[in-house]
């Protein structure tokens, strides 16, 4: 007798081992109709419904309503797309079609150059396959049979894949049939094509076979699929909104930063962009004083002996830049931590002096492959709001608590309300013993639990010298971005033989914490521009206010007001172009300027102004002193939006 357990600990008994689908059918016909996959306790991946279960398996059935259903649906939608393409163009060869985040793609070898003009034709053919509600069946073929079959079909890429599986010791492969069309795949797949409820082709691009530029160039069609049309519509809206918010587009429109082919991956910040950059640094410096940090400045180029000691030379060399000076090998620093260890060594430290917190806005350089660079979010030269804390083991909990307090204060000020914490554990390539890693990971885990901070374990994604907390900010479009981080490091203090004199008058090894709140300033600015759609809070805006004259008769008054605002530190411009007021208002809105101060003859006579926000709201007949008070208050308090609710004295 075979017994299968369900998530509620109830069980089902079978005379022979059932498949996942047979388990669903034994529970109810409706459940069986909606089932698309199964999850077996102890296995992270979704399994195919056709899989035979083992005695005492604990099984969760994935249905069309389950959050995980989209993964299975996309696997099958990729097959539907490939079948449709080959139905329309039989000479096209298929390669691979994996599921990716938020969708899937399929790579084709085709003499026909696909374009988005072909999407309607492909989608129409896909819909025919889906409407036919074709059953998907799974077979296991002997590997030689599979090679022979795909060879006869001239599917050379499939043959190459199967031969690779054979070399790895596999004797059978799984084949999924979709009517008279079939494909090599390990699954999982839906029961029938009718379970694919919503799909959309998105874009087409070139891609080398197996990602190797020496191999043939293929055509990759990107697409997505969801378990219902509403989810698809929401996602398509998100894509369009993301295009509007693309920080590269906003950077050009707002004149914030540029790139040049002579300096790949190295942004040029304009006068306006540099204001955002320096305002963020100024704000963080204020908080450093509040939270007990000292700011330091360290060199950019070091003899590589530093990085051999720190472990970067062995574990991070492929990401570093090297040069020879006076017959010695040097490198620009990819991180500040080794130089901070040298700084720690310059003095003796007592247990009374710890924790010692130092911050550094030093410029860093890391090699990124040309194909991976992306605007400000992936660059080769950048600056972090980087800091290191050297502390005693008994101070660790308090320092992690202090880090989270600082992070929450910064994120709250910036309107970044939603974020998640991940505990990233030891990577495969690392320095230090397993005992040290056990201690480091245990310290972080205990601190998180003591502080009652919810977290998710991200196995294998720690730094090579220690485990870390990764702060994943969720932006306005619900996209996660890794920004802040806290890393617990026992290895670098050991490598540099760092010590402090304890209460027992003996030498002890400090714990080193690596931390950043925003992460790279370049990356943060790119993410934040997209989060806010370029509508920066007034304190960060390059131009905080613009004066708009209705007639030339008020120009002198506008110049006086401009001087007055500048004297108060407000970044103001006077748009005195000979254009209509509505045109100038529209231009100011496109530049995302928080305050438009409109002055006409009536305002001149009464020494008042009309304030217009970029959102379109107006406040009329505001005494000039009150208007200045309102703007100054918004900037000083770092309000996310101009506050018209304040009392304005008349």
CATH number at residue 601: 3.40.50.800
Q: How far apart, in whole angstroms, are the C-alpha atoms of residue 469 and residue 449?
A: 13
Inside any domain, residue 325 = no
Number of H helices, E strands in the chain: 20, 33
pLDDT of amino acid 511 = 92
Inside any domain, residue 309 = no
74 with 57, same domain: the answer is: no
Q: 34, 386, 470, 575: which one is catalytic? A: 386
Inside any domain, residue 649 = no
- 514 assigned to active site: yes
Inside any domain, residue 481 = yes
Q: Looking at the predicted structure, is the pLDDT value of residue 645 above 60?
A: no
Inside any domain, residue 318 = no
CA distances from 219 to 36, 208, 216, 222, 229 (A): 29, 8, 10, 10, 27
Is residue 193 within 8 A of residue 134, CB to CB? The reply is: yes
Mean pLDDT over 472-491 rounds to: 91
443 with 583, same domain: the answer is: no
| pLDDT tens-digit series, residues 82-102 | 999 999 999 999 999 999 988
Give the pair of three-digit tokens for residue 597. Answer: 């101060």
Beta-strand runs (E) in 475-594: 480-489, 500-501, 507-508, 511-520, 545-549, 572-575
Inside any domain, residue 371 = yes
pLDDT of amino acid 153 = 93
Q: Looking at the predicted structure, is the pLDDT value of residue 191 above 50?
A: yes
Inside any domain, residue 211 = yes
Give the pair of three-digit tokens for residue 196. Answer: 């694919």
The band of 648, judged by pLDDT with boundaries at 50, 70 and 90, is very low
- 629 assigned to active site: no
381 with 519, same domain: the answer is: yes
The band of 650, judged by pLDDT with boundaries at 50, 70 and 90, is very low
Q: 578: domain range?
A: 545-636
Q: 39, 220, 514, 531: which one is catalytic? A: 514
Nearest to 500 by CA among 404, 395, 398: 395
| pLDDT tens-digit series, residues 499-556 | 999 999 999 999 999 999 999 999 999 999 999 999 999 999 999 999 999 999 999 9
| pLDDT tens-digit series, residues 299-313 | 999 999 999 999 999
The rounded percent of the chain whose pLDDT value lies above 90 is 78
Q: 39, 50, 75, 468: which one is catalytic? A: 468
Q: Looking at the predicted structure, is the pLDDT value of residue 649 above 70?
A: no
| pLDDT tens-digit series, residues 403-420 | 999 999 999 999 998 999
Q: 366, 380, 523, 612: which one is catalytic? A: 366
74 with 199, same domain: the answer is: yes
* Domain end call among 532, 555, 582: 532
pLDDT of amino acid 75 = 94
214 vs 597: which has the higher pLDDT: 597
Q: How far apart, in whole angstroms, are the C-alpha atoms of residue 593 and residue 580?
A: 18
The band of 644, judged by pLDDT with boundaries at 50, 70 and 90, is low
Q: How far apart, in whole angstroms, are the C-alpha atoms of residue 159 and residue 148?
A: 8
Q: 75, 158, 333, 337: which one is catalytic? A: 337
Mean pLDDT over 197-205 rounds to: 95
* Domain end call among 26, 45, 63: 63
352 with 373, same domain: the answer is: yes
- 646 assigned to active site: no
Residue 388: strand pairing partners: 358, 514
Measure the CA dihedral 595/600/605/609, to 10°: -10
Q: How far apart, in whole angstroms, are the C-alpha atoms of residue 186 and residue 407?
A: 43
Q: 79, 227, 357, 388: which one is catalytic? A: 388
283 with 152, same domain: the answer is: no
Inside any domain, residue 152 = yes
* Domain end call among 486, 503, 532: 532
CATH of the domain at 457: 3.30.930.10
Global pTM reads: 0.80
285 with 431, same domain: the answer is: yes
CATH of the domain at 33: 3.10.20.30
39 with 88, same domain: the answer is: no
173 with 269, same domain: the answer is: no
**What is the number of domains present in the chain?**
4
The band of 156, judged by pLDDT with boundaries at 50, 70 and 90, is very high
Q: 384, 395, 487, 544: which one is catalytic? A: 384
CATH of the domain at 114: 3.30.980.10
The band of 467, judged by pLDDT with boundaries at 50, 70 and 90, is confident
Give the pair of three-digit tokens for residue 549. Answer: 């004259």
pLDDT of amino acid 366 = 94
The rounded percent of the chain whose pLDDT value lies above 70 is 99
The CA-based angle 499-504-509, given to 5 degrees, is: 20
The band of 647, judged by pLDDT with boundaries at 50, 70 and 90, is very low
393 with 517, same domain: the answer is: yes
- 144 assigned to active site: no
Mean pLDDT in the chain? Answer: 92
State phi, psi for 132 to the nearest 5 degrees.
-70, -10
Burial class, 646, CB count within 10 angstroms (exposed 0-12 / middle 13-18 / buried 19+): middle
- 388 assigned to active site: yes
Residue count of the chain: 650
79 with 38, same domain: the answer is: no
Q: How far apart, in whole angstroms, are the C-alpha atoms of residue 582 and residue 579?
A: 8
Is residue 593 within 8 A of residue 557, CB to CB? The reply is: no
Q: What is the DSSP letter of 53?
A: P
Residue reference for tokens 């094509």? 193
Q: How far apart, in whole angstroms, are the C-alpha atoms of residue 602 and residue 609?
A: 9
Q: Looking at the predicted structure, is the pLDDT value of residue 637 above 70?
A: yes
| pLDDT tens-digit series, residues 223-274 | 999 999 999 999 999 899 999 999 999 999 999 999 999 999 999 999 999 9
193 with 134, same domain: the answer is: yes
């Amino acid at each position: 007798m075979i017994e299968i357990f369900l998530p509620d600990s109830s069980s089902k008994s079978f005379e022979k081992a059932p498949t996942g689908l047979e388990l669903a059918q034994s529970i109810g016909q409706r459940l069986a109709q909606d089932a698309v996959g199964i999850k077996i306790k102890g296995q992270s991946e979704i399994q195919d419904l056709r899989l035979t279960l083992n005695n005492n398996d604990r099984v969760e059935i994935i249905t069309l309503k389950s959050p995980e259903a989209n993964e299975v649906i996309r696997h099958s939608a990729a097959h539907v797309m490939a079948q449709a393409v080959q139905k329309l163009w039989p000479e096209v060869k298929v390669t691979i079609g994996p599921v990716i985040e938020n969708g899937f793609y399929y790579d084709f070898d085709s003499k026909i150059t696909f374009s988005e003009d072909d999407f309607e034709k492909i989608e129409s053919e896909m819909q025919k396959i889906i409407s036919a509600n074709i059953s998907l069946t799974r077979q296991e073929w002997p590997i030689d049979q599979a090679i022979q079959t795909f060879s006869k079909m001239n599917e050379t890429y499939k043959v190459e894949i199967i031969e690779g599986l054979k070399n790895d010791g596999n004797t059978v492969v799984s084949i999924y049939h979709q009517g008279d069309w079939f494909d090599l795949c390990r699954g999982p797949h839906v029961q029938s094509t009718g379970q694919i409820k919503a799909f959309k082709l998105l874009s087409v691009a070139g891609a080398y076979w197996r990602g190797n530029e020496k191999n043939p160039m293929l055509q990759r069609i990107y697409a997505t699929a969801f378990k219902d049309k509403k989810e698809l519509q929401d996602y398509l809206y998100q894509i369009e909104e993301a295009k509007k918010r693309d920080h590269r587009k906003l950077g050009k429109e707002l004149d914030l930063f540029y790139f040049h082919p002579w300096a790949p991956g190295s942004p040029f910040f304009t006068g306006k962009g540099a204001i955002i950059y320096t305002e963020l640094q100024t704000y963080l410096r204020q908080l450093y004083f509040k939270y007990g940090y000292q700011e330091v400045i360290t060199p950019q180029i070091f003899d590589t002996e530093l990085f051999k000691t720190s472990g970067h030379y062995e574990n991070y060399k492929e990401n570093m830049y090297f040069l020879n000076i006076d017959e010695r090998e040097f490198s620009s620093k990819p991180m500040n931590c080794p130089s901070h260890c040298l700084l720690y060594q310059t003095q003796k430290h007592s247990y009374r002096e710890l924790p010692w917190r130092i911050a550094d806005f030093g410029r860093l350089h890391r090699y990124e492959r040309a194909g991976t660079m992306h605007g400000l979010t992936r660059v080769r030269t950048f600056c972090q709001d980087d800091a290191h804390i050297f502390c005693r083991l008994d101070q660790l909990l308090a320092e992690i608590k202090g880090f989270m307090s600082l992070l929450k204060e910064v994120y709250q000020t910036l309107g970044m309300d939603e974020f998640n914490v991940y505990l990233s554990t030891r990577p495969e390539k690392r320095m230090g013993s397993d005992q040290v890693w056990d201690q480091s990971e245990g310290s972080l885990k205990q601190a998180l639990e003591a502080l009652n901070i919810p977290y998710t374990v991200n196995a294998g994604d720690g730094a090579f010298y220690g485990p870390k907390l990764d702060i994943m900010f969720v932006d306005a479009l619900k996209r996660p971005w890794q920004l802040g981080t806290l890393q617990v490091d026992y290895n670098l203090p050991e490598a540099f033989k760092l010590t402090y004199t304890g209460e027992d008058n003996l030498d002890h090894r400090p714990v080193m914490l690596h931390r950043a709140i925003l992460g790279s300033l370049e990356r943060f600015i790119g993410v934040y521009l997209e989060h806010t759609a370029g509508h920066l809070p007034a304190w960060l805006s390059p131009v905080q206010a613009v004066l708009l004259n209705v007639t030339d008769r008020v120009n002198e008054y506008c110049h006086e007001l401009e001087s007055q605002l500048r004297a108060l530190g407000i970044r103001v411009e006077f748009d005195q172009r000979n254009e209509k007021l509505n045109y100038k208002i529209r231009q100011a809105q496109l530049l995302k300027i928080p305050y438009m101060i409109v002055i006409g003859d009536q305002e001149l006579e009464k020494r008042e102004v009309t304030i217009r926000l970029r959102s379109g709201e107006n406040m009329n007949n505001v005494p000039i002193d009150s208007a200045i008070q309102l703007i100054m208050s918004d900037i000083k308090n770092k309000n996310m939006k101009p506050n018209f609710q304040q009392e304005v004295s008349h």
